Structure 1
Amino acid sequence: MGSRSLLVAEDMLLIALDDDTGKLGWFDPRNLFGALLCDLIDRGAVTVDPKKKLHLADAPEHPALLALFDTMAASTKPRTIEHWLGTFPWKHSKPAALTAQQLVADGVLQEQSDRVLGLFRTTRLPEADPGPERALRDRLKLILVDGSDPGAHDALLVTFLHHNQLVKDALDGADGEQSRAGRRRAKQIAKDLKTNPVVKAQLDAAVAAAAVSIAGAAVVTASGT
């Protein structure tokens, strides 16, 4: 797939998916909208004002981000983070497939459609190229188990993994003590996101603050729709 940097949402999806079945299990895919919104902000497609209202900037090229950008562009005025977290699930009913579009195009995942009882269409996303996920898990192990300092992207990712209870999945294969230590480490990284000097050096303070708000609110909002 070349050297493309994955979105936080794409990383989270790779962790949540079962590699063989291509299914998400217990994970609610609507929680991907929070990570996608954070990716929009991080990549400069959307800016955040002091009232946490979002303003459009440059349209992104990534298909998943562009889909959300176009949804926001249809609004007659700037809306809050919470508004969009509540709106996206109504506008985009298959967030996992949406997030996976570029991963499928890059050959990382396959998209397979089935019908349940011949009526209901379901989509599975089994792994085609294990390389990106393997590199991702190795990177997360270095951060969560070995104690390496995360860059801004990985600090954001760990924050989302923590809030979505995906840290244990990210450390699949770790022993019990490593898994417990990893969850404690993830909790601390999430807690310190706004004050992390690496994050502060690479992200605007408003972006980091918005990310904390999004990561915490996304689970609550999506679960309530």
Structure 2
Amino acid sequence: MTVTIAEELLLLAYSEDEGRQLISTMQLDPALAGAILAELVIAGRVELSGKKVTIKDPAPLGDDELDATLARIAEFGKDRDASWWVQRLQSGKLRGRLLSRLARAGVLNEEHGKVLGIFPTTRWPEAHPGVEADVRERVSAVLAGAEPDARTGVLIAITHAAKLDRKVFPAESRARVKEIAKGDWAANAVAQTIKAMTAAGAIAAAGAAGAISTGGGS
């Protein structure tokens, strides 16, 4: 089946058997937003003119999430940079929609439970491991030295930016991951989008740390 880069990222970001998130929400949510924006760049629908995100081709791609984001950028009518858009696009709702979509497609199972018998929780273990296996096979070839195509390069670079790579890729691949994350292989707009995602994640983490510090001092 066809999945988006953001969905490929989700498959890597959740443990296969237990279906639990491997990195924090503050790392994952900006990464998902960056993946969607990067995919629109790769598809030739948006471009970065200088640092501003602009519409290049408003034609829908046939994917609900990608097309909704494309329409949102088109309707906004003001020039904003990629970092601004990543911050606006990231949300728990986006993550939930993508997870639910993978569950409806039979790739994941949606399992509800309670922690300590009180707090509701949802796990997303794999139902069809073949989809993630295909992603990992493509990634493994690049980590072994193959030239990355745009989609695989973006996926690897985003996992690095979100600090997911250290959990899902072999330790001996770290130098190669960092090489790809530099973006020398990528079109300038894609590389800028990845940098914007990294910046948005750092801003979110700093904001959360400040809130914790303030709360602790009250």
TM-score, with structure 2 as normaliser = 0.78
> Cα deviations across residues 18-38 of structure 1 (Å, max 9, x unaligned)?
122222143323121111211
Q: Give the structure with the larger helix fraction.
A: 2
| Counterpart check, 1:181 vs 2:163 | no
Counterpart-to-counterpart distance in 2, 1:148 and 1:212? 21
Q: 1:206 to 1:101 in 2, by over 3 A?
A: farther
Please point out which of 173, 183, 196 is paired with 1:214: 196
Structure-2 residue corresponding to 1:107:
106
Please point out which of 154, 157, 160 is paired with 1:159: 157
Counterpart-to-counterpart distance in 1, 2:66 and 2:120? 24
Structure 2 counterpart SS, 1:210: helix
Counterpart-to-counterpart distance in 2, 1:223 and 1:30? 11
Percent identity between the aligned chains? Answer: 31
Contact 2:82 2:193 in 1 (8 A): no
Counterpart-to-counterpart distance in 2, 1:224 and 1:69? 28
Letter in 2 for 1:10: E
Aligned length in residues: 203
Q: 1:117 to 1:67 in 2, by over 3 A?
A: farther
Structure 1 counterpart SS, 2:167: helix
> Cα deviations across residues 82-114 of structure 1 (Å, max 9, x unaligned)?
21122223xx43332223344233221123445
1:160 shift after superposition: 0.7
Contact 1:82 1:217 in 2 (8 A): yes
Counterpart-to-counterpart distance in 2, 1:118 and 1:213? 41
Structure-2 residue corresponding to 1:133:
132
Q: 1:14 to 1:77 in 2, by over 3 A?
A: same
- What is the Cα-based RMSD across aligned positions, in Å? 2.7
Letter in 2 for 1:181: E
Q: 1:208 to 1:18 in 2, by over 3 A?
A: same
Structure 1 unmatched runs, 5+: 172-178, 200-204
1:118 shift after superposition: 8.3
Counterpart-to-counterpart distance in 1, 2:126 and 2:194? 30
Q: 1:101 to 1:208 in 2, by over 3 A?
A: same
> Cα deviations across residues 39-83 of structure 1 (Å, max 9, x unaligned)?
122223323222323337223322222343344345242322121
Contact 2:112 2:121 in 1 (8 A): yes
Structure 2 unmatched runs, 5+: 208-218
Counterpart-to-counterpart distance in 1, 2:73 and 2:113? 31
Letter in 1 for 2:39: D
Letter in 1 for 2:42: D
Deviates more, 1:14-23 or 1:25-34: 25-34
Q: What does 1:25-36 correspond to in 2, within 5 Å?
A: 25-28=22-25, 29-31=28-30, 32-36=32-36
Q: 1:111 to 1:72 in 2, by over 3 A?
A: farther
Structure-2 residue corresponding to 1:16:
13
